Structure 1
Amino acid sequence: MSLAGRDRISWPAAFLLLAGILLAGVAAIELAPAGSPAASWWPAAGLAVALLGLTPRSWWWTLVPGIAAMSLAANVIGDRPLDLSCCYAIANAAEAVVVASFLRRGGRTTLPELATVEVLLRLLGAALLGGLTIATIAATAAAALADGSFQLTWRAVFASHTASVLVILPLVMSPAARWTRRLAWELPLQLGALAAVTALVFSPDQTLSLDFIPLPLLIWAALRFDVRLVAWEVFGFAVTVTVLSSLGYGTFAFDNRRGELSAFGMGAIVQAYVVVAVLMTLPLAIGVAQRRSSEQLFRRNFTESVVGMLLMRSRGGHPFEVIDMNDAAARLLPADTLGRSLAEVLDTAEPLEPIAARMLAGSLDGWKSQTGVRGRPGARVEVAVSLLATDPSPTYAAQLLDVTTEYDARRRIEAAEKLTSATLDTTAAMILVTDLYGEVVRVNGAATALTGFREDELLGTRIWDIPFAPPGSDGYPAGLPDAIDAQISRETDVVTRAGERRRVLWNTSYVRDERDRATHVVLTGTDLTAERTAAGLNRHLLEAAITTALIGIDPHGRITVFNAGAVNLLGLDAQDTVGTPFVDLLDPDELAQRCDGLTGEDAFARLVAGIDGGGETATRDWTWTGADGRRHTVATTLSVAADRIAARVGYLCVGRDVTEARASQEMLIAALEKERLAVQRMRDLDTAKSDFVSTVSHELRTPVTSIVGYTEILEDGTLVEPAEEQRPLLGSIARNGRRLIMLCDDLLTLSGLDSGAARWERGAVDLTSILVGAEDAVRAQLVGRGLTLENVAPGEPVPVLGDAVQLERALTNLLSNAIKFTEPGGRITVTVEAVGGEACLTVSDTGIGIPLEEQERLFQRFFRSSTAQERAIQGTGLGLSIVNAIVSAHGGRIDVRSAHLEGTTFTIRLPIAPITAVITGRG
């Protein structure tokens, strides 16, 4: 008979248990202390629960009365009163039903296996519930029928029955024990020690309270043996302690003999002691078994797993040092993996130290990635790392799954998809893919390029409603094949979005899956228009009388094709030329020079060197000799020509007669050289003009200055007092002389600026410092004009790098213009400020302004606005040219904002000087 947790027993085994209940009950009554109406231990209770727990519920109708009968017989044999015996029998049967039902609740067909602490807690709850049931019934009957103490009887019965259930049921509920080599020596040693200590503690003359000594030995068993062995040891220990205490041995019996404990009290304490032994050993044994089972399961899963498994720890700064691996991992990784860091084994670009730190910090539950394996090119593994424990050192587990095949297959699929997409998108033929209902699901680029309709206009359209179908077409373009193996070919016209009609050959067929089922329809359209045009062009190129020479050459350098263009170019007969060496067409001296003296096939091999793999030579001019001895300059290109049908490889020479073009080019070069010389002469003339203007201005200034000086002497009357009628004449001579002097000064200034001969004093200049000098220079012009001149300057310097004299001259010219073109009562404002890294000098007036259409010519020499001419305002037209030249020489620019009769604003913008010192003076 097997008593393992979920096994049932047969009827013969059930009858044997009934007999055991009778024998256990008689033995318990015989061992009961003298004068006690209840036994100190009742093992029959545990046997009764085991009987009901291991049999079907349908048997209980027979077994429960049998349990009651066996209990009644045991009590009667033990000289218990019949009425009290009947009560005890009924109570024993009720207890068995209550405990067995509690343990088998939830539809169980047998007792649960004592493999978890949860089942042990259920067993403890069932034992307590059964003890309460039997103790209440038995104590009530003893008090009513035998004048016994309810309290003492209840305590003794509760302890004896609870202990019985807790000691006996683990024998049938615990898993079967497994024999190991360790048990062969450790089990006898532990049993011997337990027997010796128990015999010592419960010896006849023992008076010391040493009852705790056997408990560590039972804990030894719980830590080392299976639950079944521990249950048998506890059972044997309980029987031994109960029997020896009943015989008067041990501390408990000694206390009873001294009168400190009654018979009831001694029995209750003994069973409580047994219960303590059960509760100390069984939970520990179950926990150890669970841990051992988990470790074995983990080890079995680790070792036998088809997935690669690694155990890793943090050592010496390496967060993932491999300390163990299973066979599957050994097949995936290099042989020297143990003792190495995971980063040294896997080819991952992601650093592993931060991952380990995040796992230890609790911010990352695990890490997954797909990486390569060092030392195994092409291998790919999917790795998943998790943290197992942190004490005493971080321990990690890694699972490795070989995905090389999957990775390669995915790459092949992706490559195939890319190749398919590339083929569809790059092929010159139109391709339309439809579903089985004729709806377009894919369009290649050639279809949109040829028809002019966008992809989104074609997708989702029924093939019979395609927008590029010609008017009146039916079943366009070729319909759908009737059979899965059928193919339709049909020529139709395509009308593009631009209205152009093209001829297309359509081939329609089904696409089938691996089960040979039709999934899509593919329509391939070949543009016959382009093909026929190309064929016509080829024939035209070969047959037409063109000047381009097309010459076919075999691999040995002999001519195979000689087109009409070559015939027209050289005057040779095509039939006579075929078969002759190509190099005979070239100038021998030029060929020898460019091919290092090689001739024949060697020279031709040198010409085509480097293009055998494809491509063509760079276009190069060669001298070809015609039939009449005339030399032609021909732009020549050699390329590889392959005939796939005949499996022959040759070369194609394309020659274009550029004799006249090269002559024209030489003429153009000569013309360009003449033009260059003319430009140089123009520059020389311009230089001479500038020198002439400078010389004339200089030579004019000296006599004019003398004329003005002598005129002023005559006006002053130093030599002779002029007559009144002479004074206007002398004033006119002096005024025009000064105008000539100013004109000469302006011409000299411009000449110096253009030639670069002007001398500049480069230094740091504060723009605010030139305001006073410029104002002094024009003060005479302001006399009697009724104009207001206002200077606006910031509190700090506005530094620039330049010549203070020239900058002041530019400002003076602008102020002079503003005074001349502003009517009396007007206002002139000079502003200096720094804006956006630039120094700005602004002169604004309320004068007559400048028309917009004339402002583009404002800075040209001798230009005077139409307003100035209409009002006869004097001026040379050089002032603004000088200002523009000075500003440009300082790396700045000048802007103008004006309109007719709306005033004028000139703004000079100069770079801020990179200095920090405050500039004072003119620098």
Structure 2
Amino acid sequence: MSSSGPGKVGWPTAVGGLLAVYLAGVLAIAIRPEDSNIATWWPAAGIGVILLALAPRRAWWLLVPGVGVVTAAANLTGGQETDFSLWLGVGNAVEVTVATLVLMHGRTRIPRLDSLRTFGRLVATALAGGVTIAMFVSTGSALLAGGDWVVTWRTVVTSHASAILVVVPLVMTPRAARSRVAVRAWEVPAQTITLTLATFAVFSPDQTLSIEFLPLPFLVWAALRFDMRTVSWELVGFSLVATYLSTRGHGPIGYDFSRGGLDSAQLSSVVHIYLLAATMLTLPLAIVVEQRTAALDQLSRSELLFRRNFTESLVGMLLLRRGEDTPFEIVDLNDSAARLLGGRGSAVGRGLAAYVDAREPLDLIQSRLVDGRLDGWKSQCGLKDRPGARLHLAVSLLTAEPEPTFSAQLQDISTEYEARRQLEAAEKLTSATLDTVAAMVLVTDLYGEVVRVNGATTALTGFDESELVGVEVWDLPFAPPGASGYPAGLPDGPFAQVGRESDVVTKSGVRYRVLWNTGYVRDERDRPTHVVLTGTDLTAERTAAGLNRHMLEAAASTAMIGIDPHGSITIFNTGAANLLGLDQQDQIGTPFLDLLDPAQVAERCPGATPAEQFEKLVAGLETGGESSARDWTWIGADGRPHTVSMTLSVAADTFAARVGYFCVGRDVTEARASQEMLVSALEKERLAVERMRRLDEAKNDFVSTVSHELRTPVTSIVGYTEILEDGDVVRPSPEQLPLLESIQRNGQRLIALCDDLLTLSGLDSGALRFERGAIDLSEIVRSTEEAVRPLLRNRDLEVGYLGSPEPVLVLGDRGQLERVLVNLVGNAIKFTEDGGRVDCRVSVHENEAWLEVSDTGIGIPLEEQAELFQRFFRSSTAQQRAIQGTGLGLSIVAAIVAAHGGRIDVRSAHLEGTTFTVRLPLARG
């Protein structure tokens, strides 16, 4: 359905539209009956619908509230109560929104009022708007003013529906006047004046006759003669006058109202039913007349066009009728047909058979066309008076009633016929040529549709000619998946040539690489007529070239340089470009020696001129041979030297002719520097290890000497202290006994420390020898229980020992293993607070003997357990609690266990106790 209107308004128009809504509302309230608080007619609703329909949807958020505000303001201006005015403002905003949505449903532009279907949409719009506002106003009147809901609803729905139905068509009519019978200049003023006089006559004061029908014939006059815009404006004017005069008590309706026969609500309903009837009579009639006039105009234009096409056509045109004696009697013909048939006057009235030589009987063709068994007939015929001439004849039936009439078209194709014969001969020559060409050849028309393929195409691709001819070049079946513009596209201009490589996938799935060349075929006037695509199979060549290129480009860290016999670079791969920071293309053609350090070249080629240096460099290379790798200094683009391990070899063709040289270089700068650094570092490490070994030996000697020297006097001190305690020399007083016990206790600690140091020194130097024998670990547990019993004196600890019912035999030194267990149990007792528990158990797990010592003591923090078996290490918990110790016991234990081929594990945490597990291999029986 056609539509009109710009679909958008500017802000000045929007403001003007809101002002029009306000003024229309004020006017409607001003002319309402004095005893009614509801306006009789509300044209502001129609203006609001027009405003929203012309505006874009994004502007509705401002225009819809604007309509509500100006409506409320108009009611306030007219004397309505504030709350009722606000209620009416909201209702009017919702009304115009609903009505506009119905009018514009599925459209972005206002529909043109050019069909009854559109008129039906307009009626639906009016009803939707009227019903919506009637619901609001009736409810507000009942709640706020105590009015009758039904009466108010009936009054409002008719007033607003008639307003929308009358006002909205003003923007639904086309701007330009429609094509109708010419309207005289006096007719519009005469009709307008007559309508005005009839309206005022009907609605004049004290006019009581029921002649409301009198203006309707004049509105019908407008609908029959004038354009839709004029009709719409006359309806608006007529509605305003009829409403105003009726509310003032004029005319038959107003007279009845003024005499009390009708109340204001009934007056409004009757007036607007009258306006709705006038509108429903006028607008559909105007639409139907509009459609009829448009159809007649179209028919007239079609007839005029046919006549012009008939007389001015360059093709021969004939009008024929069924003759009584001769088929296809000529009634009329144009100039082109007259020239073909030899004269206009002599041809009229004669049969078509007098001029053309048809292959089929014309009377049979005529009867079949009349009977409907043939829709049309076409044939190539000869002319009887022009030997060799050929015509293309087409005959069709125009009408069968009242008399069968035919049209015929004649086209002289003599030239084309002769050209076709020549083309057939050329085609035979072309076919013979194409079939002898080894390359693929495809011929297409100017639109890319394949018209010919040669035998080589079928042989290579496996597709028959029937599978390729008629297919557009972009959809050829041998194109690889995802190809576009295949195989080479069409030339951009009539003199352009296109060359491109692409893949061809045969019917059996084999892939070939083909070079396509595309060009135009031209006629004798140099105009393009066809496109020829020639494909050359490059599969083998491209495979070899691709492998070489891939090999060169893949070596991103290896320089590969081709050199011609004169020393100029012919190939410069990515690896060489990456190594030196040079552009690949810029290096082609430059001397190879420019890459090398000149001083080094001069040193290794003494006495040679620059022209002779390259010859000396490649001297001695045999065909197929390669020089040994040698380090050379290459200079990069930034001037930085690179140490490159370089080899040179001869490049020769299949006939062993030397065609150049091939250089392979690998950057070894970092490798050489790393080697030197590694040698230096190894030497430093060797010296450091040797020094550490000497220091370790000196340390061991020192510890051993000091331990021996300390142990002798400490042993004497302890011995003499025992003599003093026993009273063999002098009986000590009670005050002296604690002092003597302290001397003895500390002396024993020093002796134990010396023993530990001597043991560690012996372990490190290898001087400490272990006895090897089968030992039952359960017996060691029992001896340990006796050894640590003095440590439990004055302590509140539970100590448990659990041996194995079966002997647990290991191979080792009994004394050293007892020392391991005594140290572990002693540490557990020392680091477990009173009230705790210590357990010692022996068990067998697979091929290992386990000695486990666990306690509920202070534990060892997880982060310190990695240093637990280092010499002189003491945990932070032991230091904080000032628990005495040297930090040598666990290191001695770990050394003894390792010497027995076992290992020791610890499981502990801060304040969560500790478990040491010694794992020793079982002795083999």
- Range into which the TM-score falls when normalised by the shorter chain: 0.3 to 0.5
Q: TM-score, normalised by structure 1?
A: 0.41
Normalised by the length of structure 2, the TM-score is 0.41
